[in-house]
Structure 1
């Protein structure tokens, strides 16, 4: 584990202790505001939970170090990307009277938590999911910082069809997340009077991809859009190539680009991943430069991941909502967030209003290299300039 990881998990342990000792008290003026997070810290989606949490804590460490600030901490529980565990964790966090729920990872897990938040109108902020089922119908306590899967898949389909790749198959997880991505691809293709040439499924937390590979490779698509976690996507890509598939692979952001690159190694070369935040190594994004500087100050060097930077951004946006709140209450946070009208966070615009809590539609592409790197791509597929260390 890196020094940054050790430091952040030390912070997490402290946050957990704070929550356990003081969460049942009223939110006194000098007590930390505790955010509750249920996320995978073990299992096949663990890197997403770990990285998002680290990025959020990276921002909060700096924020809490400022004089006169009421501390904000995160109480995290591991759900292993299992909706039943997520529901149990959420009940525990609500019983502990956390101030808000933050940074849940995944569609089926977030859907398991949402009904539990409605009664007390607990803010449910920045779920790491683009599913429309979390966005529609509108829920006043739910705020989305990232673009939707419809936004991501529309960009993927546009990218593919612009270069003449009209025969598109979909490999997807057999749950709410996978079906959300499939719906997005299907909708984008329908607008061009096209449809998926084949689909294949994998069960959540499984890498049994054999049947999906046989079905999709037999259809001879130009490209496959993958809507699953990095373990199963890596298994599919390897098996499809071994079966003779020579087309391209496109993934949505939830795959975790760096985790997928590490899983695939040299076999990742040319695999494309859509992203909902700028490249963490971008030299042209003020948000990325701020994140990189925070990484350096935090002892993590100049490395970073998309999921970690999304956590950093999410914490930054939530804190801005707190600053705008007229009172440090849940209702105050909701009202404060609803004043963010085209608010720029280092060039990344977020808009929340009383009628819409879908903060961003930002999507860009990235590509994996044989060296396990993830490079941002411009609108024409050209690599974006990286930050000079």
Structure 2
């Protein structure tokens, strides 16, 4: 598989060339392709929305600097929902009324689920939501396209790793909403074939760090490992409290936690915390895509650029959307057709595979471990 990645990755290099971006068509000057994004830009999950947008804008700014797509510039309209479903629904209604071309880069499961019926009714493409929840994948919805692997994929990899080293007493700390329940279901499904189930459960309410009851409940079950399905602030609070209560095992998190945000919250306490990832390693140029991302970030922000997984996801999502626009066109149906034409698309060592019956583009998952200095090790 690695050999295949490198053999085919050379094809992605041409996508980064100016000639690729400059494919302008006459008669469309002054017009824009407007995208709507509802995300958390305030509150305890704000780093996720901010970083995703920063990564996406590296792609969109570059495209616009070379004339946009078909002579049309890309405009990303972003509204803050604070990671709250009602606010997200209101933002989505506003985007629909404004006549945006597509909805892009929504952050989170409960918010994306609030937007989904609105996008479906309006027949708007709903592209690259930052969530791995199965409820957004099943049943199949023609409007929705996922660039990342699912939480079932991530939790299956986590459980596989734990069982491989003989750990069977696995507890789950999860957000008390659709996101947390999706992760819990993933862990439960992965354990079931081995006649196992979570040894203990604890919950936290969205956008809070009230984890005391969850710590007491989970510690009473005497787990050897704890899988966390929540955002970075509550997960960091839980880790500190559980260690203070005497837990000596390992913490595992799914990608939505926000890897760098979690590391920054924990400081030296981050050492040994495991996070599953659904995007390529963003800190060194281990793939053509990573090298392109790092170069774009440093060109835009200089020494202030701080690579991380959340902005890498925004970067990849925007690259996929731009490729679809080049392939299909700018109307809703044309954009969907462009996405569905991306069979085994090589983004530079990271592959996205869509077709008319398959809108989940990747199942890539790997595990990383945090170090006490905030670095991430594969």
In the TM superposition, what are the counterparts of 1:235-254 in structure 2 within 5 Å? 235-254=237-256
Aligned length: 349
Alignment of 1:298-337 (within 5 A): 298-301=300-303, 303-325=306-328, 327-337=329-339
- Name the CA distance, whole Å, in 1 between partners of 2:117 and 2:84: 16
Q: Whole-Å Cα distance in 1 between the matches of residues 114 and 178 of structure 2?
A: 11
Q: CA deviation at 1:373?
A: 1.7
Q: Which has the higher helix share?
A: 2
The range that moved more, 62-71 or 141-150, is 62-71
1:52 equivalenced with 2:55 (yes/no): no
Measured after TM superposition, the shift of residue 164 of structure 1 is 1.0
Secondary structure at the counterpart of residue 197 of structure 2: coil
1:39 aligns to what?
A: 39
Distance across 1 between alignment mates of 2:68 and 2:123:
28
SS at match of 2:122: coil
Asked if the contact 1:292–1:303 (Cα under 8 Å) also holds between the matched residues in 2, the reply is no
Post-superposition shift, 1:278? Answer: 1.2
CA contact (8 A) 2:38 2:79 kept: yes
Q: Give the TM-score, by structure 1 length.
A: 0.88
What's the TM-score, normalizing by structure 2? 0.90
Q: Output the CA distance in 2 between the equivalents of 1:200 and 1:68.
A: 48
Contact 2:101 2:330 in 1 (8 A): no
Q: Decide which of 209, 216, 221 is 2:211's aligned counterpart.
A: 209
Aligned partner (choices 113, 121, 124) of residue 122 of structure 1:
124
Give the Cα separation in 1 of the matches to 2:276 and 2:298.
26
- TM superposition shift of 1:68: 6.5
Per-residue deviation, 1:283: 3.1
Q: Which residues in structure 2 correspond to 1:243-322 (within 5 Å)?
A: 243-301=245-303, 303-322=306-325
**Mapping of 1:110-259 within 5 angstroms?**
110-259=112-261
2:232·2:261 contact (CA, 8 Å) conserved in 1?
A: yes
Partner SS for 1:113: helix
1:29-54 Cα deviation digits (max 9, x unpaired): 64110110000000010000000000
- Which deviations, in whole Å up to 9, do the C-alpha atoms of 1:253-312 show, x marking residues without a partner? 000000000000001111000000011013321111110010111124363010000000
In the alignment, the residues of structure 2 paired with residue 65 and residue 161 of structure 1 have an alpha-carbon distance, to the nearest angstrom, of 50
List runs of 5+ in structure 1 lacking aligned partners.
1-26, 378-389
Structure 2: which 5+ residue stretches go unaligned? Answer: 1-26
